[in-house]
Structure 1
Amino acid sequence: LIENGADVNIQGSEWENSLQIAVAEENVAMVKILLVIGADINAQGGKYGGTLQAAISTKNEAMVKLLLENGADINAQGGKYGGTLQAAISTRNEAMVKLLLENGADVNIQGGEWRNVLEFAIAKQNEVLVTLLLTKGADINAQGGRYGNALQATVFSQNEDMVRLLLDRGADINAQGGEYGNALQAAAAKWNQIILNLLLEKGANVNAQGGPYGNALQAAVVSQNEDMVRLLLEKGANVNAQG
């Protein structure tokens, strides 16, 4: 077909092009042939958004290395997860994430449903990957995404150990933004008294304003959680605060 003029980069179908199909089927020999005859390694589209993301989805490190060696854009945006690093995190594959980071993946790249890779790793409840990303320079206080920042995402996931990890690594306990306005209000809204108490012990502003409930006390009242209301009042919550 190729000898008779078939376009190696023609687009269409679930996989968008021939190279993505070969990658998804983990056919190394065919991938090499297609690359030699001019297949566009960075063509966008298809189920995963690009060839490199398709390779990552198969968890085939050798295929990923082959594509990187042949010029695949490691920070290409788009696709189901928003980018290559996000795609690797979705597989919970620590080795794949390390491989991408070692080859220049931007640990603070924005994109996808979770906006940044750190929040995505938190959403996956993967403390190993969270620690790895922080070690590699992920911005712990980056804003954006559904929950506003990494700390709020962790509070929402109700993972006490990960909340401690982020606080120990310098997360801004009073950062504003996201669905609940701040981490303390998120804890109150999620009925998590252990995390609420932890945040207060670590210096969270008990009267911080913002979010859908105005402040943490109002969130606790709406939740009808008497123990949390009592705790917040003991910690100095202003019962007359407006919000």
Structure 2
Amino acid sequence: MDALGQADIPKPDPPVVGTVTHHSIELYWDLDKNLQRTSSHDQWLNFSIEEEDSKTHTYGTIYTGYAKRYTVEGLQPSASYRFRLKVTSSNGDYNYSPVVTVSTTREPKSGEDLHRAVNMNDEDAVIKILRTRSVKTDVPDKLGFTALMVAAQKGYSGLVNLLIENGADVNQVNGSGKDSLMLACFAGHLDIVKHLREHGASWETRDKSGCAAIHSAADGGHLSVIQWMISDGSKVDIKDSHLEWTPLMRVSSITGNTDVAACFIEAGADVNVKDKDGKTPLMVAALNNHEGLVQLLLENGADHSVKNEYGKTIVEMAHAFGRQNVVSLLLKMRK
């Protein structure tokens, strides 16, 4: 009788373990050619891979066919699995291989892990994650911020240094076009601003509204940052591309901070510059009821007689918006 027709079909070797990941295990087998088939075409061997149920310790078939390789998918990371190979001849005789035990690898670190560690200011965790090389340093979070942007915004100087040392791109921008330098300028972290400049961050970079880092600094109102930026060559009369506002215009609109405005004026900012609608810093300050700033601008040469695109004076505009204190101040300064 043909050897394959015997009930004592030779015991196969256990499947060989190939590539193992955190969610898959590759198994393959290559039996002796004399056992793979007989001279008859209908005597091919059938192969099955069976997996042990860890709770019941019984085996269930997860693959059957004539191939010599199978990859088990959808597994849990860092988990142990047991498999055996079943070889069946065409007449139904079969035998099992010894069991092979394989453990999947740990799940690789992700961008979420990196950003979680950065938000917690956990330098050790960031180092470990970057050393795995499974996460790119500049992977963005759900808001489009890189780890460097987050660290720069939060003032985590150590992490900023660490991320740059590991290849973080200081010129990477988020969805609104802002880079790490803009975020650090707005938040007032001078040490980080200096460090980013040392590593190639530019004053000329613009976000999607055409604002540069100096506009962000004006919005943040951190005088020491603005003073250093100006000393480092940042332009004070640079206009955005949306409203054509200079940093002084943004102070007039948003914060009304007289110290910051005085810094810009001392550095040569034009107090009579006009935006795309013909408004001046004085007009904007008056409309936003920034009395102190209105007085500062007038004391530094702001023209109170200028009119807007509709022919209205600053006094008329302030009166129309109910800025009575500003109206009184303007009338007093005109005398």
Following superposition, the deviation at residue 133 of structure 1 comes to: 1.5
Give 5+ residue unaligned stretches, structure 1: 10-15, 235-243
Aligned-partner SS, 2:200: coil
C-alpha distance in 2 between matches for 1:101 and 1:56: 12
Correspondence for 1:149 among 211, 235, 246: 246
Check the 8 A contact 1:188/1:228 in 2, yes or no: no
**Structure 2 partner of 1:20:** 115
Q: TM-score, normalised by structure 2?
A: 0.58
Deviations 1:28-67 (A, max 9, x none): 3443343333221122233461121233345332221111
C-alpha distance in 2 between matches for 1:44 and 1:165: 35
Check the 8 A contact 1:89/1:120 in 2, yes or no: yes
Check the 8 A contact 1:141/1:171 in 2, yes or no: yes
Check the 8 A contact 2:277/2:308 in 1, yes or no: no
C-alpha distance in 2 between matches for 1:132 and 1:103: 16
Following superposition, the deviation at residue 78 of structure 1 comes to: 0.7
Q: How does 1:74-153 map to 2 (within 5 A)?
A: 74-78=170-174, 82-111=178-207, 115-144=211-240, 148-153=245-250
Give 5+ residue unaligned stretches, structure 2: 1-21, 23-76, 78-103
Q: CA-atom RMSD, angstroms? A: 3.3
Following superposition, the deviation at residue 110 of structure 1 comes to: 1.9
Letter in 1 for 2:131: V
Letter in 1 for 2:252: V
Correspondence for 2:328 among 212, 227, 241: 227
Following superposition, the deviation at residue 167 of structure 1 comes to: 1.0
**Structure 1 partner of 2:137:** 41
C-alpha distance in 1 between matches for 2:301 and 2:118: 50
C-alpha distance in 2 between matches for 1:58 and 1:233: 45
C-alpha distance in 2 between matches for 1:40 and 1:152: 39
Check the 8 A contact 1:147/1:180 in 2, yes or no: no
C-alpha distance in 2 between matches for 1:68 and 1:177: 38
More displaced, 200-209 or 152-161? 200-209
Letter in 2 for 1:60: Y
Check the 8 A contact 1:45/1:79 in 2, yes or no: no
Letter in 2 for 1:160: T
Pair 1:63-2:159 in alignment:
yes
More displaced, 157-166 or 225-234? 225-234
**Count of equivalent residues:** 228
Check the 8 A contact 1:23/1:31 in 2, yes or no: yes
C-alpha distance in 2 between matches for 1:186 and 1:210: 11
C-alpha distance in 2 between matches for 1:212 and 1:35: 58
Deviations 1:202-231 (A, max 9, x none): 332333333688441321332353524524
More displaced, 91-100 or 213-222? 213-222
Check the 8 A contact 1:179/1:211 in 2, yes or no: yes
Correspondence for 2:256 among 129, 141, 158: 158
**Structure 2 partner of 1:53:** 149
Q: Which has the higher strand share?
A: 2
Aligned-partner SS, 1:66: helix
Letter in 1 for 2:328: D
More displaced, 128-137 or 35-44? 35-44
**Structure 1 partner of 2:55:** none
Deviations 1:59-86 (A, max 9, x none): 3322211110121111211168932123
Letter in 1 for 2:250: A
Flag the 1:179–1:189 CA change in 2: closer, same or farther, 3 A: farther
Larger Cα Rg: Structure 1 or Structure 2?
2
Q: Which has the higher helix share?
A: 1
Following superposition, the deviation at residue 169 of structure 1 comes to: 0.3
